């Protein structure tokens, strides 16, 4: 059993690296708040050092208290915000496709999405509306939202994001038709550049029966007039 002096020495040695950046994947980061809890580290693959260089490049002191853990936090956030690169459609669907004799439109409205513009690495975000007309198969409703997230959590342009969502649903279900409408606010043109504060971008991707005007109009009517459940 270790003596008290040994315990203190061990604790002091552990706290010599309060940042915990060097722990690597699966390591721990020491809790510098003093609450004695530890958090698992995300493997950021050296991106923390790149963020440290960016901070120094804009003239910041990376050794001041408020920035000590910022390079790691920023790198870990970027890993989270781009996790769509490591996901696949099969993984997202997880076999949640079911046979169902239904040929009426299925629409999931107001799916919030958060993505990053690939040109400036600034966020764009908004709502996505996804609809399909089944052809003997339906998909678990949460999977439609997960498909949106998988493609949103990559460096994107809204036009491509909208098409990728439609293509994925078409690939998964082979439905009679798919329709996707996305509405987004782009910080790359709100907080910089032309600085248009109230501009909103709308994109659509239509497949199959949604290329026909009656089906398209039904979808748009349901989006506009669906109302709130609560």
Mark whether 117 is an active-site residue: yes
- Catalytic residue, chosen from 87, 120, 170, 218, is 120
CA distances from 50 to 20, 26, 45 (A): 17, 21, 10
- For 121, the 3-state DSSP assignment is coil
With contact defined as beta carbons under 8 Å apart, do 144 and 172 qualify? no
Distance CA 62, CA 72 (A): 12
- The residue from 118, 159, 171, 212 that is catalytic is 118
120 carries an active-site annotation: yes
**Structure tokens of 7?**
């315990």
Q: Choosing from 129, 158, 164, 183, which is the catalytic residue?
A: 158
Q: Of the residues 49, 119, 171, 212, which is catalytic?
A: 119
For the question of residue 118 being annotated catalytic, the response is yes
Of 60, 87, 170, 188, the active-site residue reads 188
Q: Strand pairing of 201-208 and 177-186?
A: antiparallel
Exposure of 16 by Cβ count < 10 A (0-12 exposed, 13-18 middle, 19+ buried)?
A: exposed
117, 128, 129, 164: the active-site residue? 117
Told to judge if 119 belongs to the known catalytic residues of this protein, a careful annotator would answer yes
Answer whether 192's CB lies under 8 Å from 158's CB.
Answer: no
Cite the active site residues. 117-120, 158, 186, 188
């Amino acid at each position: 059993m270790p003596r008290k002096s040994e315990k203190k020495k061990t604790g002091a040695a552990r706290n010599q690296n309060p940042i915990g950046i060097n722990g690597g994947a699966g390591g721990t980061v020491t809790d510098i708040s003093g609450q004695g809890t530890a958090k698992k580290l995300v493997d950021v693959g050296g991106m923390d050092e790149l963020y440290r260089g960016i901070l120094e490049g804009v003239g910041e002191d990376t050794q001041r208290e408020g920035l000590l853990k910022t390079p790691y936090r920023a790198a870990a956030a970027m890993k989270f915000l781009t996790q769509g690169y490591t996901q696949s459609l099969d993984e997202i669907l997880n076999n949640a496709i079911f046979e169902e004799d239904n040929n009426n439109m299925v629409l999931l409205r107001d799916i919030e999405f958060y993505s990053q513009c690939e040109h400036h690495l600034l966020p764009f975000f908004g709502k996505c509306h996804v609809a399909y007309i089944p052809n003997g198969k339906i998909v678990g409703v949460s999977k439609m939202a997960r498909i949106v997230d998988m493609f949103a959590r990559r460096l994107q342009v809204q036009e491509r994001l909208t098409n990728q969502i439609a293509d994925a649903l078409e690939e998964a279900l082979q439905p009679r038709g798919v329709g996707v409408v996305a509405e987004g606010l782009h910080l790359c043109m709100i907080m910089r550049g032309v600085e248009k504060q109230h501009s909103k971008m709308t994109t659509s991707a239509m497949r199959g029966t949604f290329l026909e005007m009656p089906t398209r109009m039904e979808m748009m009517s349901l989006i506009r007039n669906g109302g709130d459940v609560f």
